[in-house]
Amino acid sequence: METTTQTHVIWPDVELIRNDFPILRQSVNGNPLVYLDNGATTQKPVQVIRSMQEYYTGYNSNVHRGVHTLSQKATSAYEAARQQVAAFIGAQQHEVVFTKGTTDAINLVAAGFRREYLKAGDEVIISTMEHHSNIVPWQLACEERNAKLKVIPITDHGELDMEAFESMLNPRVKIVSVAWISNTLGTINPVKDIIALAHAQGIPVLLDAAQAAPHLPLKVHDLGVDFLALSAHKVYGPTGIGILYGKESWLNKLPPYQGGGDMIKHVTFAKTTYNEPPLKFEAGTPAICEAIGFGAALAYVSQLGLHKIQAYEHQLTTYAIEQLKTIPGLRLIGEAKNRAGAISFLVGDTHPSDVGVLLDQQGIAVRTGHHCTQPLMERFNIPGTVRASLAVYNTTGEIDKLVEGVRKAVALLG
């Protein structure tokens, strides 16, 4: 176990936590792996891996409607995972719709609004810092219905212009859809204020919580949000699974996203009667194993404690920013006062991809490019950034290696 020094703030259990993640024990290009690409996907603890292996080796079967033992066991585990998600976000079990991930969840809502609630002249509000998955679905909806997509501007520090947002609210706005935390800037947006302002004018709000779920305590009824989307793989779970939370009233009103098995009560060639939410939105055989792994991941995070995770990652982020600023010519892209552990930067005139390649040669994994936020890059007039994104298993020692690695990369690039 590492010891605390004046410059190293270490969570006492960090080495025990790291032991739960087998992938972290490997070397890359002859160096111990330093994994700082958690904004793209997090690594998986043995508890998640084991739960998925147990499903396939012990009770692999399709869920719902099966009367045999394996099917009943699989159904029980699958719905237990839904209940785990519901408890994690403070929702009712029937308000949790399993999806392929955040992108799929946002598309589900956008498709429903396109069919039922958008008409010519209506407006949808997003922000400048949105991921493409919270831009393109709304563009498609607006283009089809001849509605207008409006964008909340941001400041040079990477914070939402809340005065501008408030001035954009009017009876034509049918929904506000924004990220809780920017995957590029790390900005934590004032979502409670956004929701309150929108609700004051009867406008529903969707939160993209993909980046928030692993870092912040999250309770939907405390927020009062109408919809919330997140992905398992951002919060130590498997890929290919996520959820849409929707208020019961909204899930009852929205039309089905897809047709098929499980989302129906009764089918004739003349008419189909749909199932109740959440099954109404879950056509076909679901990602059963992934859902079970998702539940195990949330149980793992809950056991660690999100308040404790948040405090540790705040210290780690503060340390990382302080140390990166010691590198000559380095500039941070986004310096919001309230932020999480996604840190984007450039150094002088070096291209971010070149820096990323040289860091990889030292065993340091970061993300380079536009991070699926091209309009945000245009706002700052840059081609992309180097992004280091932190997780609960990262340490200040790894931050030191990142800073040393960037210094070496810049020296090599001249």
d(CA 176, CA 341): 25
- What is the DSSP annotation of 21-73? -GGGG-EETTEE-EE-BTTT-----HHHHHHHHHHHHH-----SS--SHHHHH
Q: What is the per-residue burial (b if ≥16 Cβ within 10 Å, else e) of 368-399?
A: bbbbbbeebbebbeeebbbbbbbbbbbbbebb
Is 142 a known active-site residue? no
Backbone φ and ψ of 72, nearest 5°: -65, -40
Per residue, what are the HEC states of 4-29? CCCCCCCCCCHHHHHHCCHHHHCEEC
Backbone φ and ψ of 36, nearest 5°: -125, 40
* Beta bridge partners of residue 97, listed in sequence order: 244
d(CA 93, CA 345): 41
User: Nearest-CA neighbor of 50 among 84, 87, 21, 79?
Assistant: 21
Active-site choice (321, 332, 372, 382): 372
Cβ 198 vs Cβ 160: under 8 Å: no
d(CA 319, CA 240): 33
H-type alpha helices, 146-217: 162-168, 191-199
With residue 123 as reference, give the H or E element that holds it.
strand 123-127
User: Is the peptide bond preceding residue 256 cis, with omega within 30 degrees of 0?
Assistant: no
User: Nearest-CA neighbor of 40 among 332, 405, 370, 354?
Assistant: 370
d(CA 403, CA 320): 8
Backbone φ and ψ of 4, nearest 5°: -80, 130
Class of residue 304 by CB neighbours under 10 A (exposed 0-12, middle 13-18, buried 19+): middle
User: Within a 10 A sphere around the Cβ of 164, how many other Cβ atoms?
Assistant: 14
Provide the annotated active-site residues. 372
